[in-house]
Structure 1
């Protein structure tokens, strides 16, 4: 069971996972060592699974952010999953979902032409519904 301090630590780490233990301790009213011990316990218990960075896709040349709802023709999804694995440079996330569709793809593309080519190839394995992110 997580207490208020653990939740505060998680909140601060989600804002800035590079914060020093001393700075984090000051924010949650503990010593740096006490915070470090709590973080180690959160990691050991699987609450913290890892640390990551946020990448600006536009600065990397990916100007189109697309959400694609996937509708497979059968319950055998291997051809679709193989296709996605081969195109992983464009795929940010591939969620298996319930409800409307079988998967939700979050993708990045450098141009409409590359997006169109991706969709044409995708259509050999599944039907889809495309949504373009306008603003975050």
Structure 2
């Protein structure tokens, strides 16, 4: 991976919908050459996919929370299985070091839905909740 590849990744990180012609202009290549490099980066697994950013408030998710997860034993599968049923709310489940075992990032349409989620979550683990006040 050379400097041009790094520039391509940086430009695609800013705007993954950019045309190959525009991308090429930004990194001083032809559109065809930029497209070939992007395809190579995809084939090598360096670029794994493309995403969009969604305004969560505009689609109805107004409560953003970080939940520190404390497991009661070393068998985490019941907790992990529960999370698979909650994909609508779970953004990321990070396995971490430190005081807790996981850091769960979630979004909810209301405090009532968050409360219901926490009641169910508490069947599997203990937790500490932090709600985002401002981004």
CA distance in structure 2 between the aligned counterparts of 1:99 and 1:36, rounded to whole angstroms: 43
What is the distance in 1 between the residues matched to 2:90 and 2:46?
26
Unaligned runs of 5+ residues in structure 2 are: none
Give the gaps of 5 or more residues in structure 1: none
Q: Which moved more, 1:20-29 or 1:87-96?
A: 87-96
Partner of 2:44: 45
Alignment map for 1:1-136 (pairs within 5 Å): 2-136=1-135
Measured after TM superposition, the shift of residue 104 of structure 1 is 1.3
Task: Show structure 1 runs of 4+ deviating over 4 A.
Answer: none
Cα deviation for residue 117 of structure 1 reads 1.4
Range 35-44 or range 95-104, more displaced: 95-104
Cα distance between partner residues in 1 of 2:55 and 2:62: 10
Give 1:134 deviation, angstroms. Answer: 2.1
Deviation sequence 1:62-114 (CA, Å, 0-9, x none): 10011111110001011111211122211111122222311111111111111
Q: TM-score, normalised by structure 1?
A: 0.94
Distance between the aligned counterparts of 2:99 and 2:39, measured in 1? 39
Following the alignment from structure 2 to structure 1, what is the Cα–Cα distance between the partners of residues 19 and 95?
36
What is the number of residues matched between the two proteins? 135
Give the root-mean-square deviation of aligned CA atoms: 1.1
Alignment partners' CA distance in 2, 1:61 and 1:109: 8
TM-score (norm: length of structure 2): 0.95
Q: Distance in 1 between matches of 2:7 and 2:99?
A: 36
